């Protein structure tokens, strides 16, 4: 039992010092979104015991705490999809979102043109329930249902 085993404190101290040094993590650049976030990946290496890839993103300067990530990239970061989204896919999803906004605006304009005001909230309370004359047990004269 010679060698490194006898110097446990030396090993622990060396590991502590190494943990304080900044690490240079280099990953493959996978893409950039329209906000300016840059996405990276270190691929999995099953031969070394690393089953899943490591994925992360770097936000642009000044937007560090505004966690805005497009849904395609978020799905990639959370391992819900294997491949990073392509530019065509992102453009197609942006066009679809724009079309949905335009259609919603048209429907709202049409509803307002037809005289539709704000939607009326339904009545609340015991008077909002249906009233059946044949079912008024305990109230033979139906006084409870009169308004």
Boundaries of every domain in the chain? 26-98
Average pLDDT, the chain: 81
Q: What whole-number percentage of the chain has pLDDT above 70?
A: 76
- The reply to whether the predicted model has a pTM over 0.85 is no
Q: Which residue has the tokens 């290496």?
A: 45
Structure confidence at residue 2 (pLDDT) = 54
* Residue 146 confidence (pLDDT) above 60: no
Whole-Å CA distances, 68 to 12, 60, 71, 81, 140? 40, 11, 9, 19, 63
Both tokens of 94, joined, read 């942006």
What digits encode the pLDDT tens for the residues 4-22?
Answer: 566 788 888 888 888 888 7
- Segment 21-37 shows an average pLDDT of 83
**Is the Cβ–Cβ distance between 61 and 49 less than 8 Å?**
no
Structure confidence at residue 104 (pLDDT) = 94
* Residue 136 confidence (pLDDT) above 70: no
Strand segments, DSSP code E, in the chain are: 28-32, 38-42, 54-58
Structure confidence at residue 106 (pLDDT) = 94
**Is the Cβ–Cβ distance between 77 and 69 less than 8 Å?**
yes
């Amino acid at each position: 039992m010679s060698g490194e085993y006898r110097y446990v404190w030396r090993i622990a101290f060396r590991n502590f010092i190494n943990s304080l040094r900044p690490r240079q993590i280099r990953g493959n650049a996978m893409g950039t979104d329209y906000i300016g976030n840059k996405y990276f990946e270190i691929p999995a290496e099953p031969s070394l015991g690393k089953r899943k890839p490591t994925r992360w993103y770097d936000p642009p300067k000044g937007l560090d705490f505004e966690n805005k990530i497009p849904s395609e990239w978020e799905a990639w970061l959370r391992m819900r999809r294997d491949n990073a989204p392509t530019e065509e896919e992102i453009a197609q999803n942006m066009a679809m979102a724009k079309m949905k906004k335009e259609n919603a605006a048209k429907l709202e304009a049409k509803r307002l043109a037809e005289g539709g005001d704000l939607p009326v909230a339904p009545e609340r309370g015991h008077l909002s329930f249906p009233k059946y004359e044949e079912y008024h047990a305990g109230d033979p004269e139906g006084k409870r249902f009169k308004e």
